C-alpha cells in the first residue's frame, strides 16, 4: 500500500513538473500564445522588460525541472524497488525541505533588510534608468498608472533624476506612495497565502520522506525474508 501511495505521489510530482516546464517553454518561444495569455492578466505585462519576463519563466522552468526529476526518481525507485534511488530521492527532498525552512527563518530575521534592499534595487535599477531605457520607461509607466504609485518610495525619487514622469500624479498628489512600497505592502498583506502554500509543500515533502523511509524498510524486509 505504501508503495502505491509513494508511486502515486511521485507521478503527481512528475506530471506537475512536466506541465510547468512545457507551459513555460511554450510561453518562452511562442509569441502569439504570450499575447493571448497576457490579455487575461490585469497588469499589462507587455510592458514588462523582455529579459525580466524570461527570467521569471526560467525560474518556473527550474522549479518544474526539480519536480520532474524528483517524480522520475520516486517513480523509478518505487516501481523497481531500487534502494539507492529511493535513498537519493530522500536526500534531495530532505535538502529542499531544510532549504525552505532556512529561507523562511531568514526572511523573518532579515525582513527589514530585504525590504530596504528591494526598495534600493527598484530605485537604482529602474527609476534611475527611466530616461535611458524605453523598455524600463514603458514598464514603469504601466505600473505607475495602474497602481497609482510613483518611484520607489515616492515622487522625491524622480526629483533626484531630473523630473517627474507623466505617469506619476506628483503635482496633484505630491505625497503619492512609492511603487516599491506599494508592492511590498501588497505582498506582506497576502503573505499568509505564501505561508499556507509553503506549509502545504513542506507537509507533502515530509510525507514523501516518510513514505520513502517506509518503502526502503519494506524492500529490505522483503529481500531478507
- Residue-wise pLDDT tens digits, 46-83: 455 555 667 788 989 999 999 999 999 999 999 998 99
Give the pLDDT confidence score for residue 64 in this predicted structure: 93
pLDDT classification of 42: cutoffs 50, 70, 90: very low
Question: What are 22-41's pLDDT values in tens digits?
Answer: 988 988 887 665 555 555 44
Q: How far apart are CA 216 and CA 17, in angstroms?
A: 24
How many helices (H) and strands (E) the chain has is answered by 9, 0
Write down the pLDDT at residue 86. Answer: 94
pLDDT of residue 214: 92
pLDDT tens-digit series, residues 127-185? 999 988 888 898 899 899 888 999 999 999 998 777 789 899 888 888 899 999 999 99
The predicted model scores a pTM of: 0.76
The per-residue pLDDT for range 114-142, each reduced to its tens digit, is 999 999 999 998 999 998 888 889 889 98
Name, in order, each residue with C-beta under 8 angstroms of 177's C-beta and a sequence gap of 6 or more.
148, 149, 150, 154
Query: Which grid cell sits at 190?
Result: 497576502
How high is the pLDDT of residue 50? 55
**Is pLDDT of 224 > 90?**
no
pLDDT for residue 92: 94
pLDDT at 216 over 90: yes
Domain regions of the chain by residue span: 2-111+215-224
Look at residue 95 and tell me whether its pLDDT is greater than 80.
yes
- Tell me how crowded residue 21 is: count the other CB atoms within 10 A of its CB: 18
What does the pLDDT read at residue 35?
Answer: 54
The burial class, CB within 10 Å (0-12 / 13-18 / 19+), for 108 is exposed
Amino acid at each position: 500500500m505504501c508503495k502505491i501511495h509513494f508511486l502515486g505521489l511521485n507521478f503527481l510530482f512528475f506530471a506537475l513538473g512536466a506541465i510547468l516546464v512545457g507551459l513555460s517553454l511554450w510561453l518562452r518561444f511562442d509569441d502569439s500564445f504570450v499575447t493571448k495569455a497576457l490579455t487575461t492578466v490585469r497588469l499589462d505585462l507587455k510592458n514588462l522588460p523582455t529579459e525580466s519576463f524570461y527570467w521569471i519563466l526560467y525560474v518556473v522552468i527550474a522549479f518544474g525541472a526539480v519536480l520532474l526529476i524528483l517524480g522520475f526518481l520516486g517513480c523509478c525507485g518505487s516501481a523497481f524497488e531500487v534502494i539507492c534511488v529511493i535513498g537519493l530521492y530522500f536526500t534531495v527532498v530532505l535538502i529542499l525541505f531544510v532549504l525552505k525552512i532556512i529561507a523562511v527563518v531568514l526572511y523573518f530575521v532579515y525582513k527589514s533588510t530585504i525590504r530596504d534592499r528591494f526598495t534600493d534595487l527598484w530605485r537604482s535599477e529602474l527609476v534611475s534608468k527611466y530616461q535611458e531605457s524605453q523598455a524600463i520607461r514603458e514598464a514603469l509607466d504601466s505600473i505607475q498608472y495602474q497602481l497609482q504609485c510613483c518611484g520607489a518610495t515616492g515622487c522625491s525619487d524622480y526629483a533626484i533624476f531630473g523630473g517627474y514622469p507623466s505617469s506619476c500624479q506628483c503635482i496633484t498628489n505630491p505625497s503619492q506612495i512609492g511603487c516599491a512600497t506599494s508592492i511590498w505592502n501588497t505582498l506582506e498583506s497576502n503573505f499568509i497565502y505564501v505561508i499556507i502554500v509553503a506549509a502545504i509543500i513542506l507537509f507533502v515533502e515530509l510525507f514523501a520522506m516518510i513514505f520513502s523511509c517506509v518503502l526502503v524498510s519494506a524492500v529490505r524486509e522483503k529481500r531478507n525474508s
